[in-house]
Structure 1
Amino acid sequence: MKPKIAILATGGTIAGTIDSAIATTGYKAGALNIEVLLDAVPQIKEFATIIGYQISNIDSSSMSNEIQLNLAKKINKLLIEDEIDGVVVTHGTDTMEESAYFLNLTVKSDKPVVLTGAMRPATSMSADGPKNLYNAVALATNEKSKNKGVMIVMNDRILSARTATKTHTLNLDAFFSPDFGDLGYILDGKVYFYNTIEKLHTKNTPFNIDNLENLPKVDILYSYSDDGSGIAAKALFDNGTQGLVIAGSGSGNIHQNQKNILKDLMKKNLIVAVSSRIQAGQVVLSKEDEDLGFICAQDLNPQKARILLMLSLTKNNNSKKIQEYFKIY
């Protein structure tokens, strides 16, 4: 009997259209529904019985906490209650890494969950969406894909949701894991793994979103030369922000003007995690900053650090305990 795979569509370039076969920009993302996507790749039925669901149909630059929560809840229901063998999510590439990492922390199953998308719209003569979807279903049906955490498949690469990031605005080969590398590769529908992730994920995280309708407000601020007086941090805090992620320079350095304001806001219970605007390498905090309560994001980029900080704040607002989450997940 073939495995049963659920494909959940959220929109994005893979569902994008434009009135030109040669155009790869200027298209409308999320224009096609899931039935059209599935009809374009009938070969996936060789791997599995397919069930499709339309979760949203948006440009992923407009992804929201609400959609991510709904997506995670739907996946958990399908995998735990409805005996689905694996899930594929079609997603826009702009925020794919954020949704993938969110699912990596909130899906409570060791069955495969794979995100894929496209860099070129469905109407392009060089559309990459069909092959990416084919590969994603091949991966979701592979027995070795269990307990690997949530994965991303783009341009034949298999990447971990924990480490993958978009590194090019337009190229087909746009996703990499700068420090970690690929989990594996797909060739003509055959799956090859040659790496594994040691960070805990899915069933081994404490983040249960079943009863959550919203998430703590967490924002990201950039640090740069001649950074201002901290007006942005103050404004966000006054508007209800509970946590901030700072995209620091170098190994997580923060302009002194910004840092002074952050120290004052932290005394008022603002939680601050320090990441880096650099794509590769570890953040390093001084002993003084650690003692003040700054949280080291380790090797998580700012957008993923925001995801983990949001979920951490659903558990507690103790910076030392949250720091442990950043070490483990």
Structure 2
Amino acid sequence: MKTSSSMSGHGSALRLPQVVLLATGGTIAGYAADAGRTATYQAGALNIETLLAAVPGLTDVARMRSEQVAQIDSKDMTCALWLTLAERVNAVLAEPDVDGVVITHGTDTLEETAYFLHLTVKSNKPVVMTAAMRPATALSADGPLNLLNAVRVAAHPEAAGQGVLVVVNHQIHCARDVVKTSTYSVQAFQSPEIGVLGWVQDEWVELQRRALRRHTVQSEFDVAGRHALPMVEVLSSYANASTVPVEALVSAGVRGLVVAGTGNGSLYGPLQQALADAARQGVRVVRASRTGAGHVMRNGAAADDTLGFVSAGNLQPYKARVLAMLALAHDMPTDRWQSLFEVY
């Protein structure tokens, strides 16, 4: 699938594709007074016009339109903003002259936002998220090239129908698979075991495989008109883990619990019992792994069928939370939960 973006199939150069850029803040829009600072800075300080001005050549790739949806450090991402962003993406993609969307985002929660949009966007048009590990004011800032490459991918016809893509450091990732794996490296994002979908460099975009799990127009999750999502929290298992968080969250009215277990999703004995008690009270319990790779075998390290648990498969805990919130929001019956984690 190796093709040049100048041969993008959108017709001649007389009609470049139109890409809408939605900005939410993050390190890519970060500011520090000292260009040598890459760890201490204000995330989301710069507006989208400033980011665009730092990327020469964008207008040779696409006709650009931009909107400032939010201006936050992504550690402060909320479910309410997810819903707002999904609504805006769907509205923009419904415009007949729009060919794709690019979203700038902070790196800390990018993988969660990407997966949420992967399940709730209702269009086959390309949606590409990008970010940066260094603020815009830093020496060798990675944001401008990431943004240019994201637009190149969004303008490319083979990006259509792939769900939400994440483009960073020349690589194209699937929203379901990508995770942040470093606190500082520009090569922070990886897709463990599964691997990248492709790459982009200069005018060349190459997609080598397709995302097979359900997403976007195949997804049964629709958040139009919603203003909140059910409460789902993430816990961990570790040596001598306390049951207090489970008991407190159940008392607080939590609807779902995702537990990042050790190894193959194994759980410290008392914690497992507390989670089983929660499941009997109607709380949905999902077993994931804290290891960062591999899958959690159903009825492997815990008797899921007996305990009332669901296996997250190879979905990491924080994305499992996203799927659980959407399943609860749509009142999915208990007997469907395991299949959701097998097809999404």
Coarse TM-score class (shorter-chain normalised): over 0.9
**Cα separation, 2, equivalents of 1:82 and 1:10:** 24
Q: Which residue of 2 aligns with 1:253?
A: 266
Matched, 1:231 2:244: yes
Q: Which residue of 1 aligns with 2:201?
A: 187
For the 8 Å contact 1:134–1:189, the answer to whether it is kept is no
For the 8 Å contact 2:304–2:311, the answer to whether it is kept is no
SS at match of 1:148: coil
Q: Which residue of 2 aligns with 1:328?
A: 343
Q: Which residue of 1 aligns with 2:307?
A: 292
SS at match of 1:42: coil
SS at match of 1:37: helix
The residue identity in structure 1 corresponding to 2:133 is: M
SS at match of 1:70: helix
The residue identity in structure 2 corresponding to 1:159 is: H
Unaligned runs of 5+ in 1: none
Matched, 1:55 2:77: no
Matched, 1:138 2:145: no
**Cα separation, 1, equivalents of 2:66 and 2:114:** 19
Q: Which residue of 1 aligns with 2:8?
A: none
For the 8 Å contact 1:7–1:90, the answer to whether it is kept is yes
The residue identity in structure 1 corresponding to 2:195 is: G
Q: Which residue of 2 aligns with 1:269?
A: 282
For the 8 Å contact 2:101–2:154, the answer to whether it is kept is yes
* Deviation for aligned residue 1:265: 1.4
Q: Which residue of 1 aligns with 2:109?
A: 95
**Cα separation, 2, equivalents of 1:286 and 1:196:** 30
**Cα separation, 1, equivalents of 2:126 and 2:227:** 25
Q: Which residue of 1 aligns with 2:12?
A: none
For the 8 Å contact 2:48–2:66, the answer to whether it is kept is yes
**Cα separation, 2, equivalents of 1:279 and 1:195:** 22
Q: Which residue of 2 aligns with 1:308?
A: 323
**Cα separation, 2, equivalents of 1:103 and 1:289:** 29
Q: Which residue of 2 aligns with 1:25?
A: 39
SS at match of 1:52: strand
**Cα separation, 1, equivalents of 2:316 and 2:84:** 24
**Cα separation, 1, equivalents of 2:36 and 2:253:** 46
**Cα separation, 2, equivalents of 1:80 and 1:290:** 42
Matched, 1:14 2:28: yes
* Deviation for aligned residue 1:316: 1.9
Unaligned runs of 5+ in 2: 1-14
The residue identity in structure 1 corresponding to 2:194 is: F
The residue identity in structure 1 corresponding to 2:271 is: Q
The residue identity in structure 1 corresponding to 2:76 is: S
SS at match of 2:214: coil
Match among 196, 199, 208 for residue 213 of structure 2: 199
What do the CA deviations read for 1:38-89 (whole angstroms, capped 9, x no partner)?
A: 1111311111111111111111011100111100000000111453110000
Moved more, 40-49 or 30-39: 40-49
* Deviation for aligned residue 1:267: 1.2
Count how many residue pairs are aligned between Structure 1 and Structure 2. 328
SS at match of 2:57: helix
Give the alignment's Cα RMSD to 1 decimal.
1.1
**Cα separation, 2, equivalents of 1:74 and 1:279:** 32
TM-score (norm 2): 0.93
Matched, 1:84 2:98: yes
**Cα separation, 1, equivalents of 2:151 and 2:86:** 19
TM-score (norm 1): 0.98
What do the CA deviations read for 1:185-212 (whole angstroms, capped 9, x no partner)?
A: 1111310111222101100010000021
The residue identity in structure 1 corresponding to 2:43 is: A
Match among 276, 286, 296 for residue 283 of structure 1: 296
For the 8 Å contact 1:252–1:285, the answer to whether it is kept is no
For the 8 Å contact 2:298–2:313, the answer to whether it is kept is no
* Deviation for aligned residue 1:264: 1.1
**Cα separation, 2, equivalents of 1:292 and 1:224:** 19
* Deviation for aligned residue 1:241: 1.1
Q: Could you say if the C-alpha distance between residues 69 and 82 of structure 1 is closer, same or farther in structure 2, counting changes exceeding 3 Å?
A: farther
**Cα separation, 1, equivalents of 2:190 and 2:210:** 15
